[in-house]
Amino acid sequence: MNETTTPSLTGRGRAARRALTVAGAAAAALALWALAGPAAGIDLTVGSGGTARTVGAGAVITSALVAGLAAWALLASMERFLRAPARVWTTIAAVVLVLSLAGPFTAGAGTAGTLVLGGLHLLVGAVLIPGLALTARGA
């Protein structure tokens, strides 16, 4: 039986994979936003009354990129201090994802819009958490 091993990522390879993961999360979120908002006509509004704002493509991309870059920075920081940071980082990322759902479910306007906004959070997390965890040293 032939045994295969996965070579460890170099610094450059790790950075490239992480960048692709962050970009993929933003692209996935934008695709869901386009399908649910403009294509399906679901009102993606947060807030109420005079503070209501429509969630646009720019906000979706920016939010996903900021979340991804923050996750990457936390993972990189943890790699400096922990021997195998993947499990700790994944736990922290999952907790942050769950806490982030408070936003859409407390500020979303309308049931469909609230569900789509929550779905955007879950989708970004579903791309970022496993994608970045697989690049962690010692993973």
- Angle at the Cα of 117 from the Cα atoms of 78 and 109, rounded to 5 degrees: 135
Chain segment 61-119, per-residue pLDDT in tens: 999 999 999 999 999 999 999 988 999 999 999 999 999 999 998 887 789 999 999 99
Per the CB < 8 A criterion, the answer to whether 65 and 29 are in contact is: no
Chain segment 16-38, per-residue pLDDT in tens: 999 999 999 999 999 999 999 88
In residues, how long is the chain? 139
Chain segment 110-137, per-residue pLDDT in tens: 899 999 999 999 999 999 999 999 999 8
Residue 54 pLDDT exceeds 70? yes
- First-last CA distance in the chain: 24
